[in-house]
Structure 1
Amino acid sequence: MANTRAEVEAWLTDMDGVLVHENHALPGAPELIQQWLDAGTPFLVLTNNSIFTPRDLAARLRSSGLNVPEDRIWTSALATADFCRSQMPGGSAFVIGEAGITTALHEAGFVMTETNPDYVVVGETRNYSFEAITKAIRLINNGARFISTNPDATGPSQEGVLPATGAISALITKATGREPYVVGKPNPMMFRSAMNKIGAHSENTGMIGDRMDTDIVAGIEAGLHTVLVMTGISDEAEIAKYPFRPDEVIAGVHELLDGPAESEL
């Protein structure tokens, strides 16, 4: 593990609360991405959201003022497809989700089917169907393996929280007695698959996040140099709740810019 920031040669960073907030780039985020691109620093922007494809997300980030190439984005959908391919190449899946997960599974060589699939994969969607959930329950009862892209029980919206992947997975678990294997954060597998994509190693990779319970704990378990930013949901009281600590706590990603703004805590 990189003990100091100077030893970090590759970066993984969360998106919401770290680089953007409500579709606006956070201070220093555009400059940090550009700094990494100019220096040829390997990096990936991570998100547990499995609704969007990397192309969709790259366009959304551009409208927020961030120039992130689509091949620098790693979603829980991509990590899930990568995991399924490693377990069962050329397999089949019944999917509850949007383009992010269906596209990722197609590109991983999977067939979408409602007939004896190898996997039932539950991802994020705003169009949950009782019929589809019922079908998923019956397929799992008949032997399909249960996979979920991420554990988040709720997601944000301007009107308040929305039920998310974890909530729908819990409904299916209650009906089947089967827990899903969850690929996204805080499973460190999401970070390992991301590092594989960019050819990075835990010894010299850093993780920037705004959540102790997903970004930081998974970063620690994956052996990464962990940086917590205070621009998301964490505050000092939140940090104090947990028995583990990030390597660094900084106000925001602007502190990671080269030059006089850089500080090591």
Structure 2
Amino acid sequence: MDMDGVLVREEHLVPGADAFISELRENGVPFMVLTNNSIFTPRDLRARLLRTGLDIPEESIWTSALATAQFLDQQRPNGTAHVVGESGLTTALHNIGYVLTDRDPDYVVLGETRTYSFEAITRAIRLVRNGARFIATNPDETGPSQEGPLPATGAVAALIEKATGRAPYYVGKPNPLMMRSALRALGAHSENTLMIGDRMDTDVRSGLEAGLQTFLVLSGISGADTAELFPYRPTAVIGSVADLIGRAADPFSSTAG
């Protein structure tokens, strides 16, 4: 399941999310919380969720930073990268043995940060123009804040692409690569796995393309008419994960729309 909009909104628990997670545990249903946010490590996110009342272990949290690190480790083990991002991304790359440098790196890796600077973006543009391969953790153009939308990875990636003529490879949702890497981490198979998300363009699309059934919840980004705007449909549309309480052992039995 996605995190923001499904389990929490900003720093507040989505009503019923704690009971839903408890029921999954009681029924022995394995689960993974996914997020395109690459700012934080799983340890950071666990602490954030604990403050809302959700006890999610680190090993049950999968971020676009972890998926990006796994992808790079498969593509070019022990490589080098110049990172525009924060500790969630730099830690993930260090853990796979990558060296972070701005001297002729194999990759420029763009992630989420709240401190994008003109200097950092300029350096990334020059490195990509000089031959570094361009990777971005996710294509989200904006992110939420209490004051309103913030520019996110996809918006900054578009700027770098415009300046270099080179499009990034996005690892996070809706790339089904992230979903498949999460399935491997979970030890699950797509045929009996459900994706719960609040966005059609990332959560539902990536779930569909990875072969999962998908539930769209209306507790986050999407409204009641959102699903009708897309050429694909989720398996079901529900108000929130609270609607699955009492059915967590077999959520497919509640499929109705």
| TM-score normalised to structure 1 length | 0.92
- Asked if 1:229 corresponds to 2:217, the answer is yes
The question of whether the paired residues in 2 share the 8 Å contact of 1:231 and 1:252 is answered with yes
Q: Which residue of structure 2 lines up, in the alignment, with residue 8 of structure 1?
A: none
1:201 offset after TM fit, Å? Answer: 0.9
How far the C-alpha of 1:264 sits from its partner, in A, is 3.1
Give the corresponding residue for 1:56.
44
What residue in structure 2 maps to residue 110 of structure 1? 98
How far has the Cα of 1:263 moved from its partner?
Answer: 3.2
How many Å separate the matches in 1 of 2:172 and 2:93? Answer: 15
Does residue 264 of the first structure (1) align with residue 255 of the second (2)? yes
Moved more, 24-33 or 176-185: 24-33
Query: Which secondary structure state, in structure 2, belongs to the residue aligned with residue 41 of structure 1?
Result: coil
Contact 2:173 2:206 in 1 (8 A): yes
- Shift of the alpha carbon at 1:40? 3.0
Contact 1:256-1:263 within 8 A present in 2 as well: yes
Amino acid of the structure 2 residue aligned with 1:79: A
Secondary structure, aligned partner of 1:246: coil
Equivalent residues of 1:44, 1:194 under 8 A apart: yes
Residue-pair matches, total: 253
Instruction: Tell me which amino acid in the other structure corresponds to 1:22.
Output: E
Aligned residue identity for 1:110: Y
The equivalent of 1:44 in structure 2 is: 32
Query: Distance in 1 between the 2:173 and 2:186 partners?
Result: 18
Q: Equivalent residue of 2:232, what SS?
A: coil
Aligned to 1:134: 122
Partner of 1:5: none
Whether the 8 Å contact between 2:173 and 2:203 is mirrored in structure 1 is: yes
- State how far apart, in whole Å, the 2-side matches of 1:39 and 1:241 are: 35
Residues 105-184 of structure 1 mapped to structure 2, 5 A cutoff: 105-184=93-172
Deviation, 1:136, is 1.1
Q: Distance in 2 between matches of 1:201 and 1:263?
A: 21
1:26 maps to what in 2?
Answer: 14
The answer to whether the 8 Å contact 1:24/1:65 transfers is: no
1:243 pairs with one of 221, 228, 231:
231
Q: Tell me, which stretches of 5 or more residues in structure 1 are unaligned?
A: 1-12
Q: Pick closer, same or farther for the CA change 1:149–1:259 going to 2, 3 Å.
A: closer
Match of 1:200 in 2: 188
More displaced stretch, 31-40 vs 113-122: 31-40
Question: Structure 2 vs 1, CA of residues 204 and 263 (structure 1 numbering), >3 Å: closer, same or farther?
Answer: closer
Match of 2:72 among 64, 72, 84: 84
Distance 1:90 1:259 in 2: 45
Give the structure 2 partner of residue 4 of structure 1.
none
Alpha-carbon deviations, 1:171-213, whole Å to 9, x = none? Answer: 1111100000001111111100000111111111110001111
Distance 2:72 2:176 in 1: 16
Query: In structure 2, what is the Cα distance between the partners aligned to 1:24 and 1:237?
Result: 25
- Aligned-partner SS, 1:120: strand
Moved more, 20-29 or 95-104: 20-29
Letter in 2 for 1:24: H
CA RMSD of aligned residues (A): 1.5
Shift of 1:236: 2.8
**Are 1:100 and 2:73 matched, yes or no?**
no
Is 1:65 aligned to 2:56, yes or no?
A: no
Name structure 2 gaps, 5 residues minimum.
none
SS at match of 2:32: strand
Instruction: Give the match for residue 252 of structure 1.
Output: 240
TM norm structure 2: 0.95
The more displaced of 176-185 and 160-169 is 160-169
Paired with 2:144 and 2:77, the residues of 1 have a C-alpha distance of 35
Q: Secondary structure at the match of 1:94?
A: strand
In structure 2, distance between residues paired with 1:40 and 1:142: 51
Contact 2:235 2:255 in 1 (8 A): no
Paired letter, 1:81: A
